[in-house]
């Protein structure tokens, strides 16, 4: 896997029954960049993410990463290739602590299996300590270092968002997909989140953000693609997008948000 691998989406169509969710979407994402994906509700942003992670199979077109076509690779296999995501509705196990939830993000990087799970071998021979230390650092990275032992069931929504981010970032991923990371956060929390996402940027890493919060998107992204009715309307830098009359039309024309 080269360090400059890019993620290329070519002519992707997705439909459920007669409903076309994505139409001929072609985008490529460059390593080292943060890309924003915006558009009104129902524009197909989350469906697009699901095509990237393998939760949905496109009815036409290809998704490829680092020269490899991923269409036939299941979700689990894409995780092995370093593609991770966060969820629109925080998907943390309520019975686990914040730290343990973050350790889940290290799953594909860890080598311990059934022997470590079932036999009482000392911790230092397994990779539990190592995983815990990495997860702890990831929690500190998102500013939750003091709350490692808190059960996810007792965590506030804003905290859960940050834990999702830590879980996605902890395993040194190649592609990070953030699905509405700021949903339900207040403005202070959003500012902190923007900071953290910025710190996730790395030279070989592709970061894609779906978000409604324009300030967040405009502040952190290098490029922005605008989706409407499942098709790409326009692409450009934040400055270009801000001035693009079509974007204003989409948002004003539909009258929502």
Partner 1 sequence: MSEPSTTALPADRTRRSAVRIDDRMLSIGTVLLLGLLPIWIGSFWLYSISLLLAQGIAILSVSFLIRYSGEVSIGHNFFVATGAYTIALLQNGPNVPFLGGVVVATAVSAAVGLLFAWPSRTLSGVYLSVVTLALGLCVPEVLLYWSEVTGGFEGLFVESRIVGGVASGLQQYYVALAALCIATFVAHRFRGSRLGLMILTARDHPHAAAAFGMTSGSARLSAFAVSAAIAGFGGSILGFTTSMVSPNSFIFWNSVTLLVGAVVSLYSTRIYGVVVGAAFVTLVPQLLSNYGQFILIIYGLALLGVIIVFNVTVPAIVRRVRRRRNHRV
Task: Report the C-alpha gap between 184 and 186 in whole angstroms.
Answer: 7
Long-range contacts of 241-249 (CB under 8 A, 24+ apart): 241/38, 242/218, 247/38
227 φψ region: left (φ > 0), alpha (ψ -120 to 50), beta (else)? beta
> By C-beta, is 21 or 241 nearer to partner 1?
21
Task: Report the C-alpha gap between 241 and 225 in whole angstroms.
Answer: 8
Q: How far is the CB of 27 from partner 1 (least distance, A)?
A: 20
Phi, psi of 64 (to 5 degrees): -135, 150
Mark residues 150-169: x for contact with partner 1 by CB under 8 A, - for none: xx--xxxxxx-------x--
Mark residues 86-125: x for contact with partner 1 by CB under 8 A, - for none: -x---xxxxxxx--xx-xxxxxx-x-xxx-xxxxx-----
Strand order in the sheet with 83-85: 83-85, 175-179, 206-210, 34-38, 223-228, 231-236
> By C-beta, is 131 or 226 nearer to partner 1?
131
> Among 4-12, 20-28, 68-76, 194-202, which window interacts with partner 1 (CB under 8 A)?
68-76
Q: Does 84 bind partner 1 (CB under 8 A)?
A: yes
> Among 57-65, 143-151, 197-205, 232-240, which window interacts with partner 1 (CB under 8 A)?
143-151
Token pair for 143: 């500013």
Binding site for partner 1 (CB under 8 A): 53, 55, 74-76, 79-80, 84-85, 87, 91-97, 100-101, 103-108, 110, 112-114, 116-120, 126-128, 131, 146-147, 149-151, 154-159, 167, 189
């Amino acid at each position: 896997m080269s360090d400059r691998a890019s993620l290329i989406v070519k002519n992707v169509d997705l439909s459920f029954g007669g409903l076309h969710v994505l139409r001929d979407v072609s985008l490529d994402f460059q390593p080292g960049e943060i890309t924003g994906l915006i558009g009104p509700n129902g524009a197909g942003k989350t469906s697009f993410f699901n095509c990237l992670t393998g939760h949905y199979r496109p009815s036409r077109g290809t998704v490829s990463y680092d020269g490899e076509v991923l269409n036939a690779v299941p979700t689990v296999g894409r995780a092995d290739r370093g593609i991770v995501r966060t969820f629109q509705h925080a998907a943390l196990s309520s019975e686990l602590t914040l730290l343990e939830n973050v350790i889940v993000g290290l799953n594909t990087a860890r080598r311990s299996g059934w022997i470590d799970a079932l036999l009482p071998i000392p911790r230092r021979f397994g990779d539990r300590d190592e995983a815990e230390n990495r997860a702890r650092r990831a929690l500190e990275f998102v500013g939750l270092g003091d709350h490692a032992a808190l059960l996810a069931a007792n965590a506030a929504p804003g905290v859960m968002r940050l834990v999702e981010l830590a879980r996605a970032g902890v395993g040194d991923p190649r592609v990070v997909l953030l699905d509405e990371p700021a949903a339900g956060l207040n403005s202070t929390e959003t500012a902190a989140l923007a900071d953290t996402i910025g710190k996730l940027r790395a030279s070989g890493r592709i970061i894609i953000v779906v978000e409604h919060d324009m300030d967040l998107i405009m502040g952190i992204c290098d490029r922005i693609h605008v989706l409407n009715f499942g098709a790409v309307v326009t692409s450009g830098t934040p400055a270009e997008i801000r001035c693009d009359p079509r974007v204003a039309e989409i948002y004003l024309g539909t009258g929502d948000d």
